[in-house]
Amino acid sequence: MSDLKVAVIGVGKMGAFHVDSLTRRTRGAQVVAVNDFSPERAAEIAGPIGARVVADPFEAIGAADVDAVVLASPGFAHEKQVLACLERGIPVLCEKPLTMDGPTSYEVVRAEAETGRSLIQVGFMRRFDTEYAGLRSLIESGDLGAPLMLHCTHRNPEVPDSFTSEMAMADSVVHEADCTRFLLGEEVVAVTVLKGTPTSSAPAGVSDPMLVLFETESGRLVTVESFVRTGVAYEVRTELVAERGQATIGLDQNLQVKQAGRWGGTISPDFVVRFGAAYDTQMQRWVDAAAQGTIDGAGSWDGYAAAAICEAGVEAVRSGRRTEVKLEARP
């Protein structure tokens, strides 16, 4: 079978990683077209792999030789670009968020349902991380009894000053929203946010860290510490509390060295290092599925549910009140 010919839209940090993954670490795929709002950046990434630069993202999506699309453009551009992929009937791997809010994500879910196919995969890469997948299998096995709570820690070493509390919800906490659904297999129905003393590194008015509480359909509680200016490293952990035991993932304990009266190791500096293998596994599974005209991972409904949870989360940040998540019926 010939390689899947892929257009990559947006080649910032994430898109460039995906191009590298498709070119060097994924079987059965070839990047043929690259688009970015900076033509110089697009040329820098496309040149070494012999792909062409396409100035207009919609021209790249519509190109006759493009079989599938990876979208790593800014979130606000996703809605129209995903719809263009649906219109052409080609598979798309869309980085989160699916769109910028619940209602527009739901429109995308409906548009996909009308095609009668599963064409949209959302890049919730943690589902492909061996530890997250292992924790889900453990929950499903029933060995620890019924799951009761999750405690999630989400820490970034640094973000730009322009990164607001609302952005922490939509950009970082969104992964915990998806993991909650992935691990517990049920919807989140309400979000509450508590803002504590902010770090002195946070600009005035920005709540960092903050404590987010998800309530699920069956009444389970999930706590999320969101702290995006720790100045330390990238730390993402989850502890499951179940009826007959607990389990923890994300300790990120790599090589530990003892020397000269001290011991220690390193912590992943960022998400591309911590989740690099998960991104690559996601890419291989998506390419294999896309070659069959389908997806293998989080779908548009998952993207919509995460967007709806984050929308409630942003409202909870602003109002300080417990906010219910409003989900439409699944088409």
Residues in contact with ligand ISE by the rule CB under 6 A:
156, 171-172, 175, 271
What is the smallest separation between the CB atom of 145 and ligand ISE, expressed in angstroms? 30
Give whichever of 156 and 284 is closer to ligand ISE, judged by the CB atom: 156
The answer for 231, left when phi > 0, alpha when psi is -120 to 50, beta otherwise, is: left
DSSP SS3 for 38: coil
In angstroms, rounded to a whole number, what is the distance separating the alpha carbons of residues 184 and 155? 22
The string of DSSP codes covering 20-43 is HIIIII-TTEEEEEEE-SSHHHHH
What is the smallest separation between the CB atom of 235 and ligand ISE, expressed in angstroms? 10
Give whichever of 171 and 311 is closer to ligand ISE, judged by the CB atom: 171
Give whichever of 132 and 271 is closer to ligand ISE, judged by the CB atom: 271
Q: What distance lies between CA 187 and its chain's CA centroid? A: 17
Give whichever of 55 and 251 is closer to ligand ISE, judged by the CB atom: 251
What is the smallest separation between the CB atom of 156 and ligand ISE, expressed in angstroms? 5
Give whichever of 154 and 285 is closer to ligand ISE, judged by the CB atom: 154
Strand-pair category, 257-259 with 323-324: unpaired
What is the smallest separation between the CB atom of 258 and ligand ISE, expressed in angstroms? 30
Examine residue 97 and say whether the peptide bond preceding it is cis (omega within 30 degrees of 0): yes
What is the smallest separation between the CB atom of 170 and ligand ISE, expressed in angstroms? 9
DSSP SS3 for 44: helix
Q: Are 283 and 26 in contact (CB under 8 A)?
A: yes
Residue nearest to ligand ISE (CB): 172
